[in-house]
Structure formats: structure tokens, C-alpha cells
Structure 1
Amino acid sequence: MKKVTLLLVCLFCSFALFSAQAQDGGRGINVNAGIGLGVYNAGGLPIGASVEVGIKDNIAVGGFVDYARYARNWGGYRWSYNFLYFGARGSYHLGDLLKELGMADEKFDPYAGLSLGIRTASYKDNVGIENYDSPYSSASVFLGGHVGTRYYFNEKVGAFGEVGYGVSALRLGVTVKL
């Protein structure tokens, strides 16, 4: 839990830094919060958040954090996996391109991008398992991609859907434009 708290503090500090330096670029600041479906590494229901700041026409940068926990308790034997993904992301927004092709809708904001981050995994049980000392943890760097869209119900609030690499294959949730 300390890692998640520290990560959220770092994410919001980055958000403040980016917002101070942002050149709107027509996109402003977008905050996404949602749940994951199609989990790669485990069961459970992943949750996550991301922040993007428009820095130039059609280009936004920011950060993300995703968390998933999968646990079982069978007759006194307890174990759990925790997955935490966090890092930086950049997106290219396709709205202007679609507008040139005559297919634009102001409520839609389609985008595609890349992310670079760290994924951590930890395992804990109440008895040692061969080749594993409980608790066990690991961390590695990853490069991922994402494709998604936002649909705005009004000027500030909307929904988003995103397919990509992270703690889950599909993310759905709420987006807020600041």
C-alpha cells in the first residue's frame, strides 16, 4: 500500500509539473479513471488512472498507474498476487486528421500512443513454496502501446475506452477535462 501511495503522490506531482508547462494544444488536461477487463497476468478487477496534458497540436504526454490484486484462501492456505504498473505515456490525437477527411465529431477524441514504465509483481502466501520464499517480488521495465477514444457527454465529462498493454488488455472508465 505504501508503494501505491508513493506512486500516486509522484503521479500528481508530475501532473502539477506538466500542467505548469503545458501549452494547451487544443486538448487541455485529461484525467482518466477506470477498470480493466481482459487481464493478462491475473484475475481480480484492475483499477487505474492516467493523466495527459496537451503540449503541442495533437500531442499529449502524461503518466499512468494501474493496480490489480488476485488472492485466494483455501482451508487456511492463503496466497495473493499484486501487480502494479506505472510510468509515462504519450498520445497522438487523431481528431484533426479525421476532420480533414470529413469524418470528425467534436464529441469523439480518438488517439494512439506509446508508454514506457515499470511493472512490479509480488507474491505472498502463508507457507513457503518450493523455489519461492514468501514474499516474492520482481520489477521490470516495459514498452507498451495503446489505442483508444474518449466520448464527451458535455464539455468536461465523458467516457473512455482503451486497448493496449498494461495490467489489462481493455480499460473502460470516466474521463474529465480540466
Structure 2
Amino acid sequence: MKTLFRILPLAVLATALAPNAQAQTRKPVAKPVAKPAAKPATKPAAKPAAKPAPAPTTPARAAAPAPAPAPVAPAASSTASTPEAIGPFQVGTNMVNVGIGLGNRYNYGTGYFGGSSSVTPALSVSYERGILALGPGVVGVGGFVGYQGATYDFGGSDRWKFTDIIVTLRGTFHYPVAEQFDAYGGVNLGLRHASASFEGSSIYGSLGSASANEVAAGLFVGGRYFFTPSIGAFAELGYDQTYLKVGVAAKF
């Protein structure tokens, strides 16, 4: 019994101390940490407005305007200031004359046997091309071909017939007078072929026929007037096959 009474107080004491021990051994529950309130976003510091540049103490001098370029004078055109520009014959121009010659240069037996002679107009063709500008004019080169026939009549059926052919080179200098007019002069140098044959039954028939060649040379001056850009007329005075030639001129 005494033992029981000793145990009971101990058991009661142990029971009373048990909650305290549990309380001491139990870890305290951690309190949730309060989140700090979100701070408002900081506003960017306003940049100070740029101060206007201080006005210059002295007024700025206005930039002087660039001087206007002097007008370029148009180059003087040589074609406008020289007669070469207005003449119809220029470097590279081709011209052809087709003409009739009057006034024969050669004697076709007139007065030898008391008969009479007749000479046909000479037919001629000449060609020139401008090759070189020389001073106010143009130098041209080309050729000339002329044909002329004549008859010396004894009377009846007896006659001599003559044939005269000239082929020459031709050199000219052209001076422009106006836009439509071309003045020129030059020289011919080449060959003349002359032949004669007898027709009839008289004693002169025994002479048969003959021909000869000789050097032909001559001087001439002339002019051309163009009615259109390519067609005109010409006239020449000279000492070659005939003394005067007139006819048609063409330019191309």
C-alpha cells in the first residue's frame, strides 16, 4: 500500500508534467513572412529641357551668294562666218556638168581646097569632187570627156569627115559667191585623139584616112547656178576643145 501511495503521486506528477514537456519539445510553427508591398515604379527623372542657344552677341553675316556663272558665248561657227558654208560646192560634194560646146578651137581644113566646112557642137561631160578646203574656197578634182565632129565638103559627094575626142584630168578651185551660185576656175590636162576619113570618088580618095594623138591642155573659168538643191545650169569660158560651154549641172 505504501508503495501504491508512492507511485500514485508520481504518476499524477508525471501526467501533469507531460503536456509541458510536449510543449517544450514541440517546435513553434514559423509565422509566414509578410511580403513587402510592391513599391511603385519609380518615374524616370524628367530631363531638363534643352536651353536655347544664347543669341549671338553680333548678328551673323549672311553668306554671300555664289556669283552666277558667266554665260558661255556660243562658239563661232566657221560655216556661218566663211563663204564656204554658203557655197554649193564643199568638201565631199560631187558635181557633174553635161554641156554643149560652141566655137571650135581646131582648124578642120577650111580654105585648103576651096570647099566649106561645118563643125557640130561639141558634147561634153565633166565630173568633179571636192577634196580640200583652201582658204574661203574648195579644191576639186575630176575628169572631162568631150566629142566634136566636123565635115569639110569639096562639093558633090566628096568630103572629109573629122572626129575629135578629148579626155583630160580636171583640177578646179571653187569660190562660193552665194548659197546657190558656185564660181570656179581650173585647168585641163590630158590627151586629144583626132581622126580624118575621106568619102567620095575623086582623086582625094587615094589619101584614105588618118589619125593622130597629141597632148591636150587648157584653162577655163565658169559658174553654176542651182535652181534646186541638186539641179542647176552652168556656163564655162575656156581654151580647151571649145571656147564656150553651156548646159545642165547636177549635184549629189
TM-score range, shorter chain: 0.7 to 0.9
The CA deviation at 1:150 is 0.4
- 2:122 is equivalent to residue 50 of structure 1: no
SS across alignment from 1:105: coil
List gaps (5 residues or longer) in structure 2: 1-88, 109-118
Query: Paired residue for 1:122, among 195, 198, 212?
Result: 195
Q: CA-atom RMSD, angstroms?
A: 2.0
Corresponding position: 1:136 with 2:210: yes
**CA displacement at 1:71 relative to structure 2:** 2.2
- Residue among 59, 63, 67 paired with 2:139: 59
SS at match of 1:155: coil
Give the corresponding residue for 2:178: 105
Asked if the contact 2:168/2:216 (under 8 Å) is kept, the reply is no
Please give the alpha-carbon distance, in whole angstroms, between the structure 2 residues aligned to 1:143 and 1:40. Answer: 12
Alignment match, 1:101? none
Report the count of equivalent residues.
146
Letter in structure 2 aligned against 1:154 = T
> How much identity, in percent, do the aligned residues show?
35
Partner of 1:154: 228
CA distance in 2, matches of 1:172, 1:150: 10
Instruction: Give me the TM-score of the superposition, normalised by structure 1.
Output: 0.75
With normalisation by structure 2, the TM-score equals 0.54
- CA contact 1:69–1:83 (8 Å) conserved in 2: yes
Code of the residue aligned with 1:56 in structure 2: it is L
SS at match of 1:129: helix
Gaps of 5+ in 1: 1-23, 96-103
- Matched residues in 1 for 2:92 and 2:121: separation? 30
Instruction: In structure 2, give the amino acid aligned to 1:123.
Output: A
Contact 1:66/1:166, CA 8 A, preserved across alignment: no
Shift of 1:168: 0.7
Greater C-alpha radius of gyration: 2
Which one of 158, 173, 178 corresponds to residue 77 of structure 1?
A: 158
Q: Give 1 or 2: higher strand fraction.
A: 1
Superposition deviation, residue 63 in structure 1: 0.4
The structure 2 residue matched to 1:92, chosen from 173, 186, 189, is 173
1: distance between equivalents of 2:142 and 2:218?
Answer: 14
